[in-house]
Each structure stands twice: as C-alpha cells, then as structure tokens.
Amino acid sequence: MKKIILLILITVMAAGMGYPAARAEGHPVTLPLRFDYYYTYEMVVEALQLLHRKFPGFTRLEVVGHSEEDRAIYALTLHNPATGNDLDKPGIYVDGNIHGNEIQATEVCLYLADYLLHQYTRLDSIRELVDQKVFYIIPSVNVDGRAHFFEDATAAGGGNRGLRRPKDDDRDGLFDEDFSDDLDGDGNICQMRKYVPGQGDFKLHPDDPRLLVRVKPGERGDYLRLGSEGIDNDGDGRVNEDEEGYVDPNRNWGYDWAPNYVQQGAGDYPFSGVGLKGIARFIRKHPNICMAWAFHNTGGLIVRGPSTEAQGEYAPGDLRVYDYLGEQSERIIPGYRYVIGFKDMYSTYGDFGEWMMMINGAYTFIGELFIRSQETFQTRQEEREETRTAGEEEERSMWDWTADLEHLQFNDHLAHGSLFREWKEYDHPTYGKIEIGGWIKFSSRMPHPFMLRDLVHRNASAVIHSAEQTPEVTMEIFEKKKLESGLTRVRVRLRNSGVIPTMSHHARGKKLYPQDILKVEGPRARVIAGGRLLDPYRDTVQYKEHRPHLQFLVVDGFDKIELQFLISGKGPVTFSYHSRVARDRQQKVQL
C-alpha cells in the first residue's frame, strides 16, 4: 500500500510540474480531461479518441493529413447532428500548435472540445450553441514538432518550431547534421558558460549568481556565454548551426506568400508542407466556416490582419466585426490586447490568418496566449515602482535584467525550483571546463501548469463568444395583403442577430462565393415583381429586373433586410432562404 501511495504522489507531482514524463509515470488520460499538465502528442490523440467514444453522437474524428514524419493530424467535428447537417450550420474553425514548441495552444483546443461536450447537458447556452453551430477543431497542426518537443532534449523557447523538412542551414552539403546536444543528459538543452577572469563580456548578477549580466562599456567581465548545450558535430568549427529543417508552417500558406529571401522559413513554395495541404483541403471542404481562431503561444494578444502593410486595411464593414469581437475578447481575457498583425507585431507573408480571411472569407484571430508578466513575485509597491519611462526600460533591458531575476524568484517560490537547472561543471571537448545550467524547456513562453486552467478557459470562452456571434438569421413573413388584379403583396424580413454577416465585405468585393438566395415558388403561383423594400410606409421598393423569384442578398451583422413580392395565383407559396454560412430557413403562405 505504501508503494502504491508513493507512486501516486510521484505521478501527481510530475503532472503538476508539467513534465513530459507524466504519462510515463503511469498517469492515464481520463474524462473530463485534466489541465494541470501538458499532453504529449500520443496523449492528444488518445484524448480525442476518448471524447469521440464517449460522445459519438456529437463528434466525428478524422485524419485530415499526415506530417513529414507520417504522424496523423486529427480533426474533431463537434455539433448536434439531430439539428441538421454540419455543412448547413455556421462553422467555427479552431486550431493550435502550428509552431511545434507552442504546446499550450493545443491545450486550449482540447479544453474547448471537452468543455462543450461535458457542459452540453448542464448549461443552456452551451446546449444552444452546440445545437446551432459546428466546431472544427484541429488541436495540433505541427504534430512532428509537438512529438519532438516532448521526446527530445529542447532549449527553453526554441527548437522544434518548424516543419521537419530537411534543410542545409550551413550550406555544407549536409542536412540537419548539427543539432544541439544534451551533454549532461538531463533531458533539456540548457546554456553553457565559461569562467574567464577579466576576459569576458558578462559578470555574475549582484543579486543572484545564477544569472549573468552584460558588463557596461569599459568594464571587464569574468564569464563568456557560449550558447545552448552542444558540440561541433560536423567538424566545421561551429556549434548547433544546422538543426531541424526550418519551414515555418505559418509562412507557407497560399496567400501573399513570399520566398525565403523576404522572410525566413517560407519554404520552397506555398503549401510545400505536406500536413498543411491536408488541413487546407479540410477547410475548403467546409465552406460554412465563417470564423476561425488559431492559437500560438506568447504575448497576450488577440491579433487580426492585415499581416503586411502593403495589403491595405480591411473593408470598414469587416473592421466593425473585428473591433466588436476583439474588444469583447479583451474583456474575457484580462491583460490581453487586441492588435493588428503588421502594425503591432511584425509583417508575415503566407500567413494562415490572411489565407483564411482573404481566400475563404472567414474572420480570423490569432491568439497569442502566454503573458510573461503574470509570472510575478512582487509586492504591490514593487509592482508600482516597476513602471518606468521608455528610456529607463531600455537601460533596464541592457544592464539590469530585472525580469530574469523576478523569473528566478517565481521559479524558486512558486515553481519550487522546477524551471531552472543549477549550474554544474562539465568538460567540453572544445571549450574545456565549462558550466551547464539555466532554464529548462518548460520555463519559457508557456505557463506553469498551475496557471494553465485559467488560460485555457478564458481563451476557450473567447472562442465561444465569437461562435455565438456567427450569423443567426431568422425569417418572418410580416405582411400578406390582397391587391387589385389578383395580386397578393407579401413582405418578408430576414434578421441577423449575430455581429458576423452572412458574407464578409471582403468576400463580397472579391466575389469569393455566391451571396445568399431567397427563392419564392408555388405550383399555382408566379412572382410578378420582387425586390428590396426600402421604405414600407411609402411602398418604396428596389425591384429586381429579371427572375424576381430569386433574390440574391447578404444580411449584415445586427441588421435586417426586408423584401417585397407581388405574386399572382393561388395556393401555397414557399419562401426558401439559403446561405453558405447561416442555417437555411423556410416558410409557407397560402394565397
């Protein structure tokens, strides 16, 4: 019994630390899913399979493609088929982990799926959402990167970001031959430093010798920083210069792509990533997608396009939608900022979000999840004193390194030493006696597991809110009046209660796909005239010249459209509304 209790305690502690060995210690994947540790690629697959087995009536699980290393990329379709086919409902696409080291993005996707399914019978708002909408969720886009992040020794904040497509980074005719090396065998790629009295560019931090700070001009330091753990594997005089082939999966989409000399990681051509082609095919097969979220890992940002200044600003009507959703998301996720990609971050070409908006007409946000400043160890007075002028901030970043010092205090007092490896001596074949230590791979750009649940719930709630704002169009026949000459005047109102229109303004301008259709037909009736009702009191109508029984239209967000038809004949007449991204409606009247 004591051995069993000890094993359980070890397992729980490992899970709480967010170690990749949580499953190896015997921790099973169970439902509801837990979010106090991170899921390996295999655990992600198992979690999706468990959700599908428990909720087979609400989910469809399929492999949409395979990666460069032949790992399966899974998509979970989530809705209530009893209320209609998924393609007949507004679609919300959600993915994460497009960069392999941005692992918490997957956790947001898993939490969203788990929450919607388990709360369906408990919360009326969730039941209504799952009944009326459909979610397409791909928790991990870069499955190879995720797998290697957990399986391999990796540096804090780096490694396994791109696709595993071999690349000769150092142009020596060899491919991916000089990776970082876990010299001390602790499962992490930490940092190397060397003590060189009076000959270095760095010195020990006066408040904590675990940190190095750069000396000021004219000073002499005692340490050299030698970079990440590693040796010269290919004998070319450089260390760690040719790691995994780098194609950035968020620079490889088929809109506004630019080659590598414009931006690193572009790949040879758009969609050269094999898994990305599968995901793109999946999205194109679901033209009902009108809203998308793609989760990345750090910054505390809700990002919209344009991704480059040269594209120009979005249409004013689309900006109104983005602003409404972005500002509401800021309220849902305190500390996050709603920003413009190229303006507030940097330019990106071949960007997923722009491909979704500009090619598919779907409003898209990029969620940059983690906020480093939340890893605090400060009194209220210290927090107030940290507010400085821009010049002081620059001085601090160069010489003070207060942020790293506070991160160490967070590590010591809240993570209890789990995020930092103490420095230990090592005999390096090139550098001689050095020290290896520093931050582990779970220490950077992701929250400690005790902070994870709040992050995933708030971001999933932002997705839920935007899903609630997808087009929800109702149809009302609000007048039927007999006129002279055997005519009947019928007035129809289409009202959209969501902020998202049934066709984005960009999609209308570029004619990306057909507008909505309102069709009027009856076996013994004929539409003589039909068109937009501009003023019901003065009977002002913009009649359509040809085929008046077919009306092409778009219902804007929080708006309505009223139409008027003059119909001759008798008997039943059916009004059928069809939209690419809103649910179809139908009503009948008797003439």
Parent domain of 284: 2-149+247-372+448-468
289: which strand partners? 91
Residues constituting the chain? 591
Answer yes or no: do 461 and 487 share one domain: no
Secondary structure of residue 463 in the 3-state scheme = helix
pLDDT digits (tens, 9 = 90+) for 431-471: 999 999 999 999 988 999 999 999 999 999 999 999 999 99
Report angle CA 247, 253, 259 to the nearest 5 degrees.
55
Distance linking the first and last C-alpha atoms of the chain:
80
Answer yes or no: is 184 within a domain: no
| DSSP-derived secondary structure letter, 522 | B
Q: Which of 242, 241, 240, 233 is nearest to 429 (CA)?
A: 233
Domain count, the chain: 2
pLDDT digits (tens, 9 = 90+) for 525-583: 999 999 999 999 999 999 999 999 999 999 999 999 999 999 999 999 999 999 999 99
Answer yes or no: is 329 within a domain: yes
Answer yes or no: do 459 and 506 share one domain: no
pLDDT digits (tens, 9 = 90+) for 91-131: 999 999 999 999 999 999 999 999 999 999 999 999 999 99
The pLDDT of residue 156 is 84
Average model confidence (pLDDT) for the chain?
91
In whole angstroms, what is the distance from residue 117 CA to residue 536 CA?
A: 45
Answer yes or no: is 401 within a domain: no
pLDDT digits (tens, 9 = 90+) for 338-378: 999 999 999 999 999 999 999 999 999 999 999 988 888 88
The pLDDT of residue 386 is 63
Query: Which residue's structure tokens are 């209660």?
Result: 497
Answer yes or no: do 455 and 499 share one domain: no
pLDDT of 25 strictly over 60: no
pLDDT of 391 strictly over 50: no
Answer yes or no: do 461 and 544 share one domain: no
pLDDT of 237 strictly over 90: no
In whole angstroms, what is the distance from residue 129 CA to residue 80 CA?
A: 9
Answer yes or no: do 144 and 270 share one domain: yes
Secondary structure of residue 426 in the 3-state scheme = strand
Report angle CA 91, 359, 505 to the nearest 5 degrees.
75
CATH code at position 255:
3.40.630.10
Query: Which residue's structure tokens are 């009306």?
Result: 551
Answer yes or no: do 462 and 496 share one domain: no
Answer yes or no: is 178 within a domain: no
CATH code at position 526:
2.60.40.10
The pLDDT of residue 4 is 40
pLDDT tier, 398 (very low <50, low <70, confident <90, very high otherwise) = very low
Half-sphere exposure of 194 (CA within 13 A, CB side): 15
Please state the φ and ψ torsions of residue 95, each to the nearest 5 degrees: -140, 175
pLDDT digits (tens, 9 = 90+) for 288-336: 999 999 999 999 999 999 999 999 999 999 999 999 999 999 999 999 9
pLDDT of 13 strictly over 50: no
Answer yes or no: is 539 within a domain: yes
CB 502 within 8 A of CB 478: no
Answer yes or no: is 415 within a domain: no
In whole angstroms, what is the distance from residue 237 CA to residue 173 CA?
A: 15
Answer yes or no: do 499 and 461 share one domain: no
Question: Mean pLDDT lowest for which of 19-28, 37-46, 317-326?
Answer: 19-28
Answer yes or no: do 354 and 463 share one domain: yes
Q: Which one of 468, 503, 530 terminates a domain? A: 468
Answer yes or no: do 478 and 463 share one domain: no
CA dist list (Å): 353 to 48, 255, 578: 25, 10, 27
Q: Which are the contacts of 331, defined by CB distance < 8 A and separation ≥ 6?
A: none
The pLDDT of residue 131 is 98
The pLDDT of residue 21 is 39
Answer yes or no: do 480 and 335 share one domain: no
In whole angstroms, what is the distance from residue 92 CA to residue 498 CA?
A: 14
Q: Which one of 437, 468, 499 terminates a domain? A: 468
pLDDT digits (tens, 9 = 90+) for 253-284: 999 999 999 998 999 999 999 999 999 999 99
The pLDDT of residue 197 is 97
Answer yes or no: is 428 within a domain: no
Strands 301-304 and 337-340: parallel
Q: Which amino acid is at 71?
A: R
Rounded to two decimals, the pTM is: 0.92
Mean pLDDT score, 398-414: 80
Q: Which of 448, 436, 382, 446 is nearest to 410 (CA)?
A: 448
The pLDDT of residue 388 is 52
The pLDDT of residue 18 is 38
Answer yes or no: is 194 within a domain: no
The pLDDT of residue 60 is 98
In whole angstroms, what is the distance from residue 96 CA to residue 22 CA?
A: 21
pLDDT of 167 strictly over 90: no
pLDDT tier, 235 (very low <50, low <70, confident <90, very high otherwise) = confident
pLDDT digits (tens, 9 = 90+) for 461-516: 999 999 999 999 999 999 999 999 899 999 999 999 999 999 999 999 999 999 99
Answer yes or no: do 484 and 348 share one domain: no
The pLDDT of residue 401 is 60
Answer yes or no: do 456 and 569 share one domain: no
